[in-house]
Amino acid sequence: MAAALWVPRLHGPLDLRYDAGTYYVLGTSLADGHGYRLLNEPGRIEAIQYPPLLPMIVAAHQRLVGSRDPAVAGRALRRTWAALFVVYALAVHTLARRWLRPGWALVASLLVVLHLEPLWLSDALLTELPFACALVLFLLAAESGERRGLTALCGGAAYLLRASGIALLAAWVVDALVARRRREAALRALLAALPVLAWHGYVAGVRAQPEFAAPAYAYQRAPYNFYNVGYGANLAYRDAFAPERGFTGGRDLVRRIAGNASALPERLGESIGVRAEGPLAPVFRLRDEAPPPSYSLALGRSACVLLGIVAAGGVGMLFVDGIRLAPLAWLASLALVTLTPWPSQFGRYLMPLAPITAIGLALVLENASRGASRVAQTAAGATVGVLLAAELVVLATVFTLRHQPAAVGPGATPQRLFFYSQRWRRHDEALAWLARQAAPDAVVATSTPQRLYLASGLRSILPPFEVDPERAEKELREVPVDWVVIDDLEFLDVSRRYAEPAVAAHPEHWQLVYDAAGASRIYRRLPR
């Protein structure tokens, strides 16, 4: 089944939208020997947000194929991701067989493999698929006896893919402490500390350099400039994409944790089923908008909450049965999720945990199916049938309606991408036009700076997140920014909220030179 899901999508490079473009740019920097740098930024500053393993994988592919072209290296990466997806599916099934009877292990595995979230996340150069694979391999290695070195390697890889991998390493140490194996806990802590200290040592070295204190432009290292700063800076805001709301205080943090925790049961249910608000709702959003209330939405949410609670109960049963590491890692990861100010991203965060969640659900249903009650057996079978049928319907719909051609411009590589809407097409057309018009030394402000850099080689940055148009225009001028792209993309609206008022307030400084029927628009700075 995992292999079959890749047959229609083996052509073309991996999707490089969203954070994927950043990973590719960082990998190119490593492959060219420039260090771990954001090549799109003025001054090519050193990156400190993302741990480096995924860019290192990108660099290795670029070296192997002998090209930095995303159309070439991206195709090789797509094949690797296809193989990794199959490995992930087999690893999930192997893990499920450790704790479930064969039939129910298959059910848990299919709930994971047929879910929409891993389907589209595996189609992009994002960390979710390799991180999820590292997580499952970590649990398998730990469950296979004293394979301490292999377990540490998989846990370290998870951390160097995503900082949230620290939850796995912490759970590994706590597992030994719960078993009162203090010496083993100390050894695990030492091994777990190696990748964490290595990454934070690098970050501390970057922060200590003079260029960090004297960036190429005023807001280059501003806390809201999320590609250029660490996660801690973003987490400090009430809303990382609306910094004018201020920083988080103690009460704000408590409310954030409480709100996120209350949303977890529903989101856990969605992670092994379908989304309550609509399975084809935008899958990648950085700012959450509440859907309009309806009876179908309330019913869907109630079902997802029930599903999440039952799955959590199953994970608790594993712990009671003496299987501690997986529940501890699952719980520690959920605790980290509650700290984040990005509830719209919970789908991504919970996708790597879906194997444990699905096993928990299957464990409860397995026990229900073995009971004497005909009602319990019927309920267990109906739950499985409805969930698998719903996931299959969603996949069929997505492949039919949301797997869209994405080649833009002459010579572009034909490919199909999930959820490549007309808005994305118009935006890419605008970037292609700008690549032909702008001088090589121009600087562009856009909400997709890495995507523009990959398409054109132009220096590109985020606009300043300033609500005052005068201050925003001043910061654009001081960079100096030569072009501003205003898009109508759904996932992030910073160009519309911050950059557009700045250029509209100063028509004497900016000229509208590209307008795609009210969609993506491009302004050019007028010469003085």
In a domain, 453, yes or no: yes
| Amino acid of residue 528 | R
Q: Is residue 409 predicted with pLDDT exceeding 60?
A: no
Question: Beta-carbon neighbour count of residue 519 at 10 Å?
Answer: 17
SS (H, E, C) 18-61: CHHHHHHHHHHHHHCCCCCECCCCCCCCECCCCCCHHHHHHHHH
pLDDT-derived band at 52 (thresholds 50, 70, 90) equals very high
Residues 364, 284 within the same domain: yes
Residues 397, 425 within the same domain: no
What is the C-alpha to C-alpha distance for residues 132 and 168, in angstroms, rounded to an integer?
Answer: 11
Residues 523 and 503 sit within 8 Å (Cβ to Cβ)? yes
10 Å CB burial of residue 486 (0-12, 13-18, 19+) is: buried
pLDDT of residue 341: 84
Question: Beta-carbon neighbour count of residue 226 at 10 Å?
Answer: 20
Residues 397, 430 within the same domain: no
pLDDT-derived band at 239 (thresholds 50, 70, 90) equals confident
Residues 370, 441 within the same domain: no
Write down which residue in 348, 369, 401 finishes a domain: 401
pLDDT of residue 489: 87
What is the C-alpha to C-alpha distance for residues 117 and 282, in angstroms, rounded to an integer?
Answer: 11
DSSP annotation of 522 reads E
Residues with Cβ within 8 Å of 158's Cβ and at least 6 positions away in sequence, in order, are: 131, 134, 135, 138, 165, 168, 169
pLDDT of residue 379: 85
The label of the residue with tokens 């950059």 reads: 499
Residues 63, 127 within the same domain: yes
Q: Which residue has the higher pLDDT, 356 or 239?
A: 356
Residues 139, 205 within the same domain: yes
What is the C-alpha to C-alpha distance for residues 235 and 229, in angstroms, rounded to an integer?
Answer: 11
The label of the residue with tokens 């029930």 reads: 306
What is the C-alpha to C-alpha distance for residues 528 and 508, in angstroms, rounded to an integer?
Answer: 9
Residues with Cβ within 8 Å of 219's Cβ and at least 6 positions away in sequence, in order, are: 225, 464, 475
Q: Is residue 336 predicted with pLDDT exceeding 80?
A: yes
pLDDT of residue 387: 93
Q: Which residue has the higher pLDDT, 520 or 41?
A: 41
What is the C-alpha to C-alpha distance for residues 378 and 362, in angstroms, rounded to an integer?
Answer: 14
74-126 per-position pLDDT tens digit: 999 999 999 999 999 999 999 999 999 999 999 999 999 999 999 999 999 99
Q: Is residue 262 predicted with pLDDT exceeding 60?
A: yes
Question: Beta-carbon neighbour count of residue 355 at 10 Å?
Answer: 29
- How far from chain centre, in Å, is Cα 410? 30
Q: Is residue 410 predicted with pLDDT exceeding 80?
A: no
> Which of 330, 385, 336, 390 has the alpha carbon at shortest distance from 360?
330
345-391 per-position pLDDT tens digit: 888 899 999 999 999 999 999 988 886 678 888 888 899 999 999 99
In a domain, 92, yes or no: yes
pLDDT of residue 375: 83
In a domain, 194, yes or no: yes
Residues 62, 172 within the same domain: yes
pLDDT-derived band at 285 (thresholds 50, 70, 90) equals low
Residues with Cβ within 8 Å of 331's Cβ and at least 6 positions away in sequence, in order, are: 171, 315
Q: Is residue 474 predicted with pLDDT exceeding 80?
A: yes
| Amino acid of residue 408 | V
Structure tokens at 165: 């991998």
Our count of domains for the chain comes to 2
Q: What are phi and psi of 74, to 5 degrees?
A: -65, -35
10 Å CB burial of residue 144 (0-12, 13-18, 19+) is: exposed
DSSP annotation of 249 reads -
In a domain, 274, yes or no: yes
Write down which residue in 401, 436, 453 finishes a domain: 401
In a domain, 199, yes or no: yes
Question: Beta-carbon neighbour count of residue 392 at 10 Å?
Answer: 12
Measured CA to CA in angstroms, residue 1 lies from 97, 106, 130, 261 at distances of: 17, 11, 19, 33
pLDDT of residue 491: 81
In a domain, 201, yes or no: yes
pLDDT-derived band at 528 (thresholds 50, 70, 90) equals confident
For β-strands 459-461 and 443-445, DSSP reports them as parallel
In a domain, 27, yes or no: yes
Residues 150, 268 within the same domain: yes
What is the C-alpha to C-alpha distance for residues 511 and 458, in angstroms, rounded to an integer?
Answer: 20
Q: Quick one: CA torsion of 235, 236, 241, 244, rounded to 10 degrees?
A: 170
pLDDT-derived band at 518 (thresholds 50, 70, 90) equals low
What is the C-alpha to C-alpha distance for residues 50 and 165, in angstroms, rounded to an integer?
Answer: 12
Percent of the chain with pLDDT over 90: 75
Q: Quick one: CA torsion of 421, 427, 432, 436, rounded to 10 degrees?
A: 160
Residues 283, 135 within the same domain: yes
294-317 per-position pLDDT tens digit: 788 888 889 999 999 999 999 999
Q: Is residue 146 predicted with pLDDT exceeding 70?
A: no
Q: Is residue 468 predicted with pLDDT exceeding 90?
A: yes
pLDDT of residue 360: 97
Percent of the chain with pLDDT over 70: 95
In a domain, 406, yes or no: no
Q: Which residue has the higher pLDDT, 146 or 149?
A: 149
What is the C-alpha to C-alpha distance for residues 297 and 292, in angstroms, rounded to an integer?
Answer: 8
Q: Which residue has the higher pLDDT, 277 or 104?
A: 104
The label of the residue with tokens 């090519």 reads: 44
DSSP 406-437: ---STTPPP-EEET--HHHHHHHHHHHHHHHH
Average pLDDT, the chain: 91
pLDDT-derived band at 145 (thresholds 50, 70, 90) equals low
Residues 151, 57 within the same domain: yes
> Which of 386, 393, 396, 399 has the alpha carbon at shortest distance from 107?
386
pLDDT of residue 221: 93
Residues 396, 426 within the same domain: no
> Which of 85, 159, 193, 178 has the alpha carbon at shortest distance from 336?
159
Q: Is residue 45 predicted with pLDDT exceeding 90?
A: yes
Residue 30: domain span: 4-401
pLDDT of residue 281: 64
Residues 311, 455 within the same domain: no
pLDDT-derived band at 280 (thresholds 50, 70, 90) equals low
